[in-house]
Structure 1
């Protein structure tokens, strides 16, 4: 899915659209940008700080592996 916007400097015919069509295209574009897919894609494309990669929120890199190691250490 292409979520990029068409640039008007490439094609001058796009700048001369009838008002009704221009409004329709603006509504479609805004709905597409607000879709769950677009929001997820935006989150995935945002870079994470390096510190966030080395210090996960739950305190372990892989929760299942950490739980297995903790249980193994208790046995």
Structure 2
């Protein structure tokens, strides 16, 4: 696997990455991509339709606060 960057000067010797190192890097990248942090970050990037932001299904902009107020009012 050749991961060298082709620069403007063509007289540079091309170097190849050792296979063991390439396999190690692929494994590290796969574990990082599957981590809980990476999955949470990927969910943050998902764009919701504007209608879902302005009119959520449960009817409250902050559901936990709405439930707390409803429980408080019932007491």
TM-score of the two chains, using structure 2 as the length reference: 0.63
Tell me: higher relative CO, structure 1 or 2? Use CA pairs within 8 A at least 6 residues apart. 1
Kindly name which structure, 1 or 2, has the bigger radius of gyration based on alpha carbons: 2
Q: What per-residue deviation string (whole Å, max 9, x for no partner) do you get for residues 7-48 of structure 1?
A: x57x259x7211111000000000000000000000011111
Q: Could you tell me which residue of structure 1 aligns to residue 69 of structure 2?
A: 68
Q: Could you tell me which residue of structure 1 aligns to residue 23 of structure 2?
A: 23
The whole-number CA distance in structure 1 between the counterparts of 2:16 and 2:57 is 51
TM-score of the two chains, using structure 1 as the length reference: 0.63
* Pairwise CA RMSD: 2.9
The Cα shift of 1:51 comes to 1.2
The whole-number CA distance in structure 2 between the counterparts of 1:62 and 1:40 is 19
Q: Which SS does the other structure have where 2:27 is aligned?
A: helix
Are 2:58 and 1:58 equivalent residues in the alignment? yes
Q: What 5-or-longer segments of structure 2 have no aligned partner?
A: 7-12
